[in-house]
Chains A and B, each alone.
Chain A
Amino acid sequence: MALIELTGIERRFLLGDTTVHALANLDLQIEPGEYVAVMGPSGSGKSTLLNLLGLLDRPNDGIYRLEGRDVTTLSPDEQAKVRSQRIGFVFQSFHLVPRLTAAENIALPMMLAGIAPAERQRRVVQALADFGLQQRADHKPDQLSGGQRQRVAIARATIMQPPLILADEPTGNLDRHTGDEVIRLLEELNGRGVTLVIVTHDQSLGARAGRQLVMEDGRLKFDSRHAPG
């Protein structure tokens, strides 16, 4: 069974008088454990696709099945629950809460899910160790380097052990070296069976993925899985 199954997805935006087709008649299947890079020029619809996959946005048409379950018809609160349990997000600008420490930022999804403090503590300690952040646990985001911030963000995305991680330009705000480090971390996660979808401008980054998707004008222009040869 495919982890993600999109059928006939349409997403239209109304900009003034004109309707923009951010996604047009999109069909896509992603298997569990895949490593997918979504590429394409600005405005090609890749961010819209990622938002849709992350249940942050709803399609105007079509069906999105996540782990075989139609999630397009769920209520907002049910979708929130799916996001909490099944999806981890990594953003270009990290999106850490500035007043919380690294440890608290990592624990945030567990706090929102109502997990007991003792269990949270246990998992946060583990995550800090896994991502080499032990020395940084009590630092606020503005005391961390860009690479450390993104490591905190990835720790946060994985703390609920979701089967799917969506990363939107995860290296966009990082220099080459720390960017590579972050990508290696994400690839390690993928190596442990987590499905990884990365949106990127970076050709070389995209090339590392097991599967490349290229978007243009809301359509899938190229899918390496169906590519000849």
Chain B
Amino acid sequence: MRLADTLRFARDAATGYPMRTTLSVLAMSIGVAAVVLLTALGDGARRYVVGQFSSLGTNLVIVLPGRSGTGGFNPANAITSTPRDLTVDDAAALKRAPSVYRVAPLAVGTSEISYGGRLREIMVAGSTAEFIPIRNFELAQGSPLPDEDWNRGSSVAIIGAKIRDELFGNDAALGRLIRVGDRRLRIIGILKPTGQGLGMNTDELVIVPVSLAQAMFNSNTLFRIMVEARSRDAIPKAKDEAQEILKQRHRGEEDVTVITQDAVLATFDKLLGALTLGVAGIAAISLAVAGILVMNVMLVAVTQRTGEIGLLKALGAPARTIRLAFLTEAAMLSSVGALVGYLLGQAGAFVLRQLFPVFPAYPPDWAVIAGLGTALGTGLLFGVMPARRAAQLDPVQALMKH
């Protein structure tokens, strides 16, 4: 039998039983759609988190107090086990490192902001002029923190967009005096609304000079030191240099942790990649179920069409032709199902993206290929048995049934 004839025969056979064909195509398409959609979700989550981390800043190296890793034995550890705090001077010292481009100390606390009788809880970030460029923040209005002595701290503040809206409404906010905690500060800048920034909603943030923040919270420690390396390639060097400088400043104790954005990114990337893979695996189970359904449908088809198979044999069809015809039909069911499922999945991902614009729900290519491949594979695999059964029917017995 010619290939075109085999295809047409299989197609006619499939469309000849619309109900069972539709159902098996539906099952297969649900399976594929599940793979496409779930991996789109998983990968979307990965992209979202990666995007969030990227928005922290570029070429970022972050210094945090305390040691999370295990170092070699240091006699100093035996005597003092409490890690030294990070100070503004530590941050200033990092500016000496050759691979470091910019440094911004960061002290964080919560406080209350009030203006014109309105009061609300806010997060206060104490830092320096370079904080905004390092973190890739942008000002909607006004100017950044003054480039002054880090230990001085003028009474100025930069406020987030949401705070501005809530406190001032349509009134001009720039230049106004507000009260943060027990201090009166002048607003010199307003951040652009972003709503992003992991763990810190910049729309509800007030940025003040670092020494002011420390004075407000009555501490002289830093939450983080943000370091920007000169280039992407300089990140590892900047990390080592920062580590070395702080070790010297802390009398040979490695009591800080220096992480690079890349390392954090890679971890999350890996974690969420694994999650996507896991979700894909779960969705793949539905594909296997769909494959079994295709087998079931094809077995029913063989039973239903026993008389026809007998006839084909009587008319001189060799076993191979019959096998091929049924296998083609199974392949058609699963490929049409896979195609419909792919379109459904893409449509679903599209709807998701429309509903949640910040969430990049695109299915990864590998998942689409694997999903389609598995659908076709299971369809064919599970089509083999019914096809063989059809080919092995005894023509005399088969002809008696119709």
Contacts and interface: CB of A to CB of B under 8 A. Distances in A.
Contact of A76 (B9, B311, B319, B399): B319
Contact of A56 (B12, B318, B395): B395
Contacts of B316: 80-85, 109, 112-113, 160
Nearest to A50: B396
A114 B2 contact: yes
Interface in A54-70: 54, 56-57
A111 interface: yes
Q: In the complex, which range does the number of interface residues on chain A fall in?
A: 20 to 34
Interface stretch (A93-101, A144-152, A191-199, A201-209): A93-101
Given A76-B318, A99-B12, A112 B312 contact: yes
B2 A84 contact: no
Contacts, number: 69
B339 to A, nearest CB: 23
Interface string A71-87: 00000110011111100
Contact of A51 (B15, B307, B321, B396): B396
A97 B311 contact: yes
A91 interface: yes
Given A83-B314, A89-B314, A95-B307, A112 B396 contact: no
A108 interface: yes
For the residues of B in contact with A, the DSSP-based class is: helix
Nearest to A109: B315
A93 B307 CA distance: 11
B317 A57 contact: no
B108 interface: no
Nearest to A57: B396
A83 B16 CA distance: 27
A111 B395 CA distance: 19
B315 A100 contact: no
Contacts of B2: 111, 114
A112 B311 contact: no
Given A95-B307, A95-B402, A112-B321, A56 B9 contact: no
A115 to B, nearest CB: 9
B315 A56 contact: no
Interface of B: 1-2, 5, 9, 12-13, 15-16, 307-308, 310-321, 395-396, 399, 402
Interface of A: 51, 54, 56-57, 76-77, 80-85, 89, 91, 93, 95, 97-100, 108-109, 111-114, 156, 160
Given A83-B314, A95-B310, A97-B308, 7 more contacts: A51-B396, A56-B396, A84-B315, A95-B307, A95-B402, A114-B2, A160-B316
For the complex of A and B, the 10 pairs showing the least CB-CB separation, nearest first, are A84-B316, A99-B16, A83-B316, A80-B318, A77-B318, A56-B395, A112-B317, A109-B315, A95-B311, A111-B5
